[in-house]
């Protein structure tokens, strides 16, 4: 189930409000045969997060499907950039050696003890989820507040959080985007497709900036360049991936594309980018790269608009 972006901030006793976590979405399937962690686009994540697999395998209850977010922290804030240190490692031993501590915050339960719970009201699913698992270590229950959405959103922004998710308390679990879940964002960020890059200048290694865009009516629209947010290891690692995807012509269908010192790539990589706002001509202002996303197909990347 996916949330819809909104500019409306409201307080309503019929809605639950949760902290919006900046990490990797994950569905957990637990049966007598073992545990499977699956990303939003159904990639298995077990080797990336072995400590989560162990915590879930040790649960008394052996039959459940839960929904949650895998996160890493930088101080008191979830950090997608820090989580990159685990997302890019697909070996259990190497993942542990990174030193990046991760947590799974679960916020919904879809199946429990052979029963499909998706048609139950969220409030009831939350109560079942709280008692279905044993929490501690890397496994956490996602707390929520009832009502007072505006005050909680203001608190979230003061704390430097990404925002809140507002959820209709009587809503069922829908597979897809729904207005029963709404995003109250503090900072602006979303996924973009990488369609090219520029040559590095001066002492910069790898590349100078990424050329990014989003799909609209089946065409890749250019959204601008993002030249900040990279450390040296990321520049080196990402430049190798980009070199393997180079092609002669741009995948972008339109836009004021740069032409000097530019390399075009097949639109197969998706990155998360923070920015201050959209300009009138559809470009990003003050963009900063946060990391690659492997949990969303490029063709599903669209411009998020408040509804």
CA 196/CA 191 separation, integer angstroms: 15
Encode burial over 285-302: b for 16+ CB neighbours within 10 A, e otherwise: eebbbbbbbbbbebeebe
User: Which residue, chain included where needed, has tokens 């003890």?
Assistant: 113
- What are the tokens at 7? 């500019």
**Per the structure block, which two tokens stand in for 87?**
């997302």
Residue labelled with tokens 């994540």:
45
Distance CA 21, CA 70 (A): 8
Helix (H, G, I), strand (E, B) or coil at 272: strand
Which residues does the annotation mark as catalytic?
Answer: 20
Q: Dihedral through CA 103, CA 291, CA 21, CA 286, nearest 10?
A: 150
CA angle 280, 293, 196 (to 5 degrees): 55
How many other C-beta atoms are found inside a 10 Å radius of the C-beta of residue 75? 7
The structure tokens listed for 61 are 């209850």
Supply the DSSP string of 101-137, one letter for each residue: -EEEEEEEEEEETTEE-TTS-HHHHHHHHHHHS--BT
In which element (H, E) is residue 55 found? helix 50-57
The position carrying tokens 């996160």 is 71
Distances (CA, A) of 10 to 6, 147, 163, 304: 10, 9, 13, 20
CB-based contact 69:107 (threshold 8 Å): yes
């Amino acid at each position: 189930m996916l949330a819809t972006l909104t500019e409306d901030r409201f307080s309503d006793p019929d809605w639950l409000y949760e902290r919006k976590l900046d990490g990797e979405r994950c569905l957990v399937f637990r049966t007598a045969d073992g545990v499977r962690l699956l990303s939003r686009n159904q990639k298995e994540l077990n080797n990336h997060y072995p400590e989560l697999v162990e915590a879930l395998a040790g649960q008394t209850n052996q039959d459940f499907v839960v929904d949650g977010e895998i996160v890493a922290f930088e101080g008191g804030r979830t950090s997608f950039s820090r989580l990159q240190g685990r997302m890019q490692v697909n070996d259990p031993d190497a993942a542990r050696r990174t030193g990046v501590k991760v947590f799974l915050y679960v916020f919904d339960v879809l199946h429990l003890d052979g029963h499909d719970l998706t048609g139950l009201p969220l409030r009831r699913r939350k109560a079942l989820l709280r008692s279905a698992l044993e929490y501690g270590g890397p496994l956490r229950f996602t707390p929520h507040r009832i009502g007072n959405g505006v005050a909680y959103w203001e608190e979230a922004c003061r704390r430097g959080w990404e925002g809140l998710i507002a959820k209709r308390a009587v809503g069922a679990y829908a597979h897809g985007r729904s207005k029963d879940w709404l995003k109250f964002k503090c900072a602006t960020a979303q996924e973009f497709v990488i369609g090219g890059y520029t040559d590095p200048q001066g002492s910069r290694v790898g590349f100078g900036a990424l050329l990014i865009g989003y799909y609209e009516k089946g065409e890749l629209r250019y959204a601008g360049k993002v030249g900040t947010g990279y450390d040296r290891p990321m520049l080196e690692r990402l430049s190798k991936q980009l070199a393997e995807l180079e092609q002669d012509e741009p995948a972008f269908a339109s836009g004021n594309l740069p032409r000097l010192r530019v390399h075009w790539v097949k639109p197969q990589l998706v990155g998360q980018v923070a920015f201050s706002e959209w300009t009138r001509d559809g470009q990003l202002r003050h963009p900063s790269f946060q990391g690659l996303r492997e949990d969303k197909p490029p063709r599903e990347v669209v411009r998020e608009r408040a509804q």
